[in-house]
Structure 1
Amino acid sequence: MGANFNLKTLTVALAALSAASIASAAGLDRSGQDITAFLQDGVYAEAVYTYLDADVSGYDNAYVGADKNAYQQGNKIDDIAESYDFFRYGVKADINDTFSVGVLYDEPFGAAADYSGDNNFVAQGDRDATINAISGGEVKDFASAANIVGKIQDKVENGGTLTAIEQAQLKKLGPAVAVAQADYNMEGEGTNVEVRTENITAILGAKFGENKEFQVYGGPVAQRVQADVKLRGTAYQAANGYTMNINAGQDYGWLAGIAYSKPEIALKAALTYRSEIDHNLNVSEIFPALAGAIPAAATGMNGEIDITTPKSVNFDFQTGINPTMLATAKVRWVPWSDFEIVPPLYNTGSKADPTNGPDGLSLVSYDKDQWLVELGLAKRLTPALAVTGNIGWDSGAGNPVTSLGPIEGYYSAGLGAKYNLTENWAISAGGKYLWFGDAKGQIPNKFAVSNFEDNDGFALGVKLSYQAKQNFN
């Protein structure tokens, strides 16, 4: 038999990696839904804090016209990525040498973006520019559009019959006038999005095999979701002024997985599947463009929205290279191409444009699935101190991508360290630098509205952990 690698000293190094193993950029992915706390030996508990600060800046689109793909560099868009933080907790214990139980908490999905300044994503209060943008350049100023709409409305009130041209003008310019007035009233407000989720997972595991080298595990997942979205500025055309609030609600899913371990070489491998989770949530929407047809759309309409958060597959792997060094790998897949947010009032409004199709538009959707790969090395320097390094790649979820999160994946490099405070207590800290992929922003009808290049960010994490052996002999 070859060298017997001391798993305890090697996991000292491994644990430092997970403090900074975060910040997935594709879709709404955030935490990476790590379950490795449950795979630790004996009694184990951890508390992890993560902070992410990104610089995502670019330019809006100065082009006005009917070509969806046309782009002309416009005004500067300052950093839209709001810094955010989140926590992860985990606790696990063995019932006996076969069964284990654990509870995990994390914040798996989210978004935080805020536009400001002089660009097409901020309500500038310029009614002429709004009319020009919505009409595709057909009508240059607000007064002309309001005059045309006023005369048509007077004709209707007096019992007159509208010509086909007048009907088309009212259909197009009526909402445009309402949106332009809303933009004027909201002057200075910028596009903003805030999405947060919380997961609590209960896990039961059972070991089997001649040396208990295999383990199957699974359990229920409770997930809470809430969101707020404001669309402001001429970039959003007729949706300028749209506001959505999704009240917090909770629904349930599940996870299942299988793991294999070979302690003599510090090998662990785990494959984990998390189910999608269907939510039915209360939503409130304001849509100024629909105020003429649906008066309540100007002040707020309440309804329900169905959202399905995506399933995922994680593969976690580690193996000893020598008695003081460990290699790690993580692969994650999330089918973001199946995900969408379809608010009912927004969807109704989008159907007014026949080019959007009979099913209308979703507010948020993605074209591609996410792949995340991270590779790392951990080295024990002393019995109490270990250091780590890792590199990573995130595929993103397509390009162009939604203007509410204009990043196409990233490359990353990270460093971490762990120090054993006592035999059972340890503290870990890590950092990761992120090079974001360039992306063009688009609105749901596929019009190009922005371009983001040469952006980056960093993530910092700190973890406090406790581990103790359990003896069932």
Structure 2
Amino acid sequence: MKHLIAASAATTLLASSALASGLDRTGQPIGVIFEEGNYAEFSIATTSVDLSGTDNAAFNPLQSATGDVGERFNMIGGAYKTDITDKLSLALIYDEPWGVDVNYPATGSFLLNGTMAEANSRSITSLLRYKINDRFSVHGGLRYQEVDGDITLAGGAYSVLSGYNVKVNRDGAFGWVAGAAYEIPDIALRVALTYQSEITHNFALTESMPAALGGATLNTTTETKTPQSVNLDFQTGVAKDTLVFGGIRWVEHSTTDLNVLSAIGGRDLIDLDDSVSYTIGVGRKFNENWSGSLAYVYEDVDGDNLVSPLAPYHGLQAIRLGVQYQNEKMKVAAGVRYSKLGNAFAAPGGTSVANFSDNKAVSFAVKVGFYF
């Protein structure tokens, strides 16, 4: 029962490769460690973001529209799991946990036109799981992560800083993962708690100063942390071939900053608030091969709705739909997620200059898994 019903939840979980608060994109799932036997999977996802706003009249009487500043982004993922002994399992997980893709068209907002940000990440997690008995297990391991980025500040809102660019050169660093799970296989019940540590990066920067500040190119360094997080995931059978599942994820985004412009006293380009996301859903097995799932996601973000122009939304609500085909040797899952992004004010330096409302994102994902 556990193997067959849990397949329904997997279709929804794969759709987590989407937009979330701060830089969060994947939710850092570790569910592959609970697969039965030897298993490998590959996934690909794409997200289209509709993100636009309008200049505040107090700063621009023409109230210029920003145009669509959200860039489509693609993601890949993969995982491998094997049993070392009857009690000890190993999983290797690749994901792209953090990122941002924002680009303000040059013909749009007078206050922010030309501002852009791109950040990319790659992560490999090596995870061990030890079964204490049929009910309790513990898991933990190491995560290696690489991050790089490129940011440009432009438009009237940045005054003499308009035209500034910083290239964040790729840096790799280690963190760790630890957790525990409780299961009752006969009713497909599993509750898993997982902590992921923050990871500290020491970035080499290439800063191109705007003409108003001399136009020089400087090679500098800065220290930045990606946030720690806690995931609480659960599932349980509630009727024949029917599963209820969900989760809570807390992310300490406020620890992430990018301090640059040290030559003129320093400036923090990232101002993010901590978030908590809640997921609740139901999975249903239709027959021996097909299953589906439907879930609702609500993400709550601390603080007010004054946000960085590099991430101009505040929280979200989403609906996720998944379908999966499975036989003894493989499974193929597809998922779609529609996200309504929370209204926010873009506020460089803490002062609102543009209003973003009625925005959305749509994500599609496909995953193929093999048992061997």
SS class of match (1:404): coil
**TM-score computed with the length of structure 2 as normaliser:** 0.95
SS class of match (1:33): coil
Contact 2:41 2:79 in 1 (8 A): yes
Which residue is 2:104 aligned to?
Answer: 115
- Residue 368 of structure 2 aligns to which amino acid in structure 1? L
Which residue is 2:324 aligned to?
Answer: 418
**How many angstroms apart in 2 are the aligned matches of 1:119 and 1:21?**
32
**TM-score computed with the length of structure 1 as normaliser:** 0.76
Residues 1:394 and 2:299 aligned together: yes
Tell me by how many angstroms 1:238 deviates.
Answer: 2.1
From 167, 186, 189, the counterpart of 1:264: 186
Contact 1:45 1:466 in 2 (8 A): yes
1:220–1:26 Cα change, 3 Å: same
**How many angstroms apart in 2 are the aligned matches of 1:464 and 1:19?**
10
Which residue is 1:12 aligned to?
Answer: 7
From 353, 356, 360, the counterpart of 1:449: 353
1:183-233, Cα deviation, whole Å (9 max, x unpaired):
xxxxxxx11110011110001111103xx3211111111000100001111
Structure in which a larger fraction of residues adopt helix: 1
Tell me by how many angstroms 1:290 deviates.
Answer: 6.5
Contact 1:25 1:396 in 2 (8 A): no
- Residue 341 of structure 2 aligns to which amino acid in structure 1? F
Contact 1:24 1:32 in 2 (8 A): no
From 228, 233, 237, the counterpart of 1:316: 233
1:46–1:103 Cα change, 3 Å: same
1:107-146, Cα deviation, whole Å (9 max, x unpaired):
00100001112322566xxxxxxxxxxxxxxxxxxxxxxx
Residues 1:194 and 2:189 aligned together: no
Which residue is 2:286 aligned to?
Answer: 381
From 342, 345, 349, the counterpart of 1:440: 345
Q: Which runs of 4+ in 1 moved over 6 A?
A: none
**How many angstroms apart in 2 are the aligned matches of 1:454 and 1:8?**
40
After superposition, residues 54-453 of structure 1 pair within 5 angstroms as 54-64=49-59, 74-116=63-105, 117-121=107-111, 190-209=114-133, 212-288=134-210, 291-292=213-214, 298-343=215-260, 346-349=261-264, 351=265, 360-366=266-272, 368-396=273-301, 398=303, 399-420=305-326, 422-443=327-348, 445-453=349-357
1:268-325, Cα deviation, whole Å (9 max, x unpaired):
1111101111111110102226635xxxxx1310011111111110111000011200
Structure number with larger C-alpha Rg: 1
Which residue is 1:149 aligned to?
Answer: none
Contact 2:111 2:353 in 1 (8 A): no
Contact 2:226 2:255 in 1 (8 A): no
SS class of match (1:79): coil
Tell me by how many angstroms 1:336 deviates.
Answer: 1.2
The aligned length equals: 370
**How many angstroms apart in 1 are the aligned matches of 2:111 and 2:233?**
40
Tell me by how many angstroms 1:22 deviates.
Answer: 3.1
Contact 2:23 2:98 in 1 (8 A): yes
Which residue is 1:139 aligned to?
Answer: none
SS class of match (1:203): strand
Contact 1:59 1:73 in 2 (8 A): no
- Residue 404 of structure 1 aligns to which amino acid in structure 2? L
- Residue 191 of structure 1 aligns to which amino acid in structure 2? T
1:400-428, Cα deviation, whole Å (9 max, x unpaired):
000111011110112110012x4111100
- Residue 200 of structure 2 aligns to which amino acid in structure 1? D
Task: Could you tell me which runs of 5 or more consecutive residues in structure 2 were left unpaired when the two chains were aligned.
Answer: none
Tell me by how many angstroms 1:63 deviates.
Answer: 2.6
**How many angstroms apart in 2 are the aligned matches of 1:338 and 1:249?**
18
1:435–1:389 Cα change, 3 Å: same
1:121–1:462 Cα change, 3 Å: farther
Tell me by how many angstroms 1:383 deviates.
Answer: 0.5
- Residue 55 of structure 1 aligns to which amino acid in structure 2? D
Q: What is the Cα-based RMSD across aligned positions, in Å?
A: 1.6
Tell me by how many angstroms 1:8 deviates.
Answer: 1.9
From 44, 47, 61, the counterpart of 2:39: 44
Which residue is 1:28 aligned to?
Answer: 23
Residues 1:461 and 2:365 aligned together: yes
Q: Percent identity at matched positions?
A: 33
**How many angstroms apart in 2 are the aligned matches of 1:17 and 1:228?**
32
- Residue 47 of structure 1 aligns to which amino acid in structure 2? F
- Residue 21 of structure 2 aligns to which amino acid in structure 1? A
**How many angstroms apart in 1 are the aligned matches of 2:121 and 2:295?**
27
SS class of match (2:268): coil
Contact 2:17 2:75 in 1 (8 A): no
- Residue 205 of structure 1 aligns to which amino acid in structure 2? R
Which residue is 1:138 aligned to?
Answer: none
Contact 1:10 1:325 in 2 (8 A): yes
Contact 1:10 1:323 in 2 (8 A): no
Tell me by how many angstroms 1:62 deviates.
Answer: 3.9
